[in-house]
Amino acid sequence: MPIRAPAVLDSSYMTDLLLECGLSKLEKLLLLLPGVNDTPAVFKLDSGFLEFLLDFCPGMKKVGNLLTWSVTREDCGRLRGDGARYGQHDLDLMYRTMTMH
């Protein structure tokens, strides 16, 4: 789903979207911008939303790019360590510079 204004994608909007569309079986959530994805906090998605996402989608395998979210590297490390708590032992929390074409 292309969205032209990343500011629309905040934690409240995304939580409502997941709930209203019943997306609990989602396995991947990748929010990417064209070009280089290395601008921090483009998306106003915080660690609270990331925790909700992992709770709501128990089959989640890949989330990213967290570098462009309002999530710190420390948040990412803590949640990666908590992966067993969420039942996602093979969880890939992507937090890195990426080039999209």
- pLDDT score for 40: 76
Closest among 76, 13, 12 to 40, alpha carbons compared: 76
Query: Residue 54: pLDDT above 80?
Result: yes
Query: Residue 14: pLDDT above 90?
Result: yes
Higher pLDDT, 24 or 5: 24
Query: Residue 32: pLDDT above 60?
Result: yes
Cis peptide leading into residue 65 (ω within 30°): yes
pLDDT (mean) for 70-81: 82
